[in-house]
Amino acid sequence: MDYGKYKYEAAQRAKESRKKASNVVVKEMKYRPKIGAGDFNTKTRKVEKFLQEGHKVKITIMFRGREVTHPELGRKILDDIAERTEDYANIEAYPRLDGRNMTMVLGPDSKKGKAKKKQQKEAEAATQPAASGQPSEAAPPVGDAATQAPVSESPQPDMVAAESAAPEPTTP
């Protein structure tokens, strides 16, 4: 047996197995208990983006001074984030207070994400026939007589005949 060939094939197998391995990255997003609505929405959109890319996200609420006496404020923020991301994420580590920080870990949920993508594709497929030029049931065809009334300045011939056939009323 050729040792060089064996070494080459072993290296190729190792390279192939590295390709198939997935690298799980833990991203972290830090919040404060007194965060404004705009900042909360911006940070949460970033968390959603990380989860959709397949990363885990560690969410940290940082308490300063006497804020640590109100952990319910941090818990409310973490619950809001979990609620907004429930379609494509699951909670891997529930909220926990560690000193002056409260942490929670969210992980991507492939089952929920696939179901959501499937729903989006179905919605797109439902709207595509109308966009492809085929008339939909709600809109009448372009040449429909109901939508285009004939415009003429002279009275209709049928109406002229009907007016002349009617006897004129007589007054005593």
pLDDT in tens, 113-142: 566 666 777 777 788 765 555 555 555 555
Structural domain spans, the chain: 21-111
Under the banding of pLDDT at 50, 70 and 90, the label for residue 10 is: very high
Q: Are the beta carbons of 88 and 107 closer than 8 angstroms?
A: no
pTM surpassing 0.85? Answer: no
CATH of 21-111, one of 3.30.1360.30, 3.40.190.10, 3.30.1540.10, 3.30.110.10: 3.30.110.10
- Beta pairing partners, 90: 107
* Per-residue pLDDT tens over the stretch 78-113: 999 999 998 889 999 999 999 999 999 999 987 765
Taking the CA atoms of 30, 31, 32 and 37 in sequence, report the sign of the dihedral they define. Answer: positive
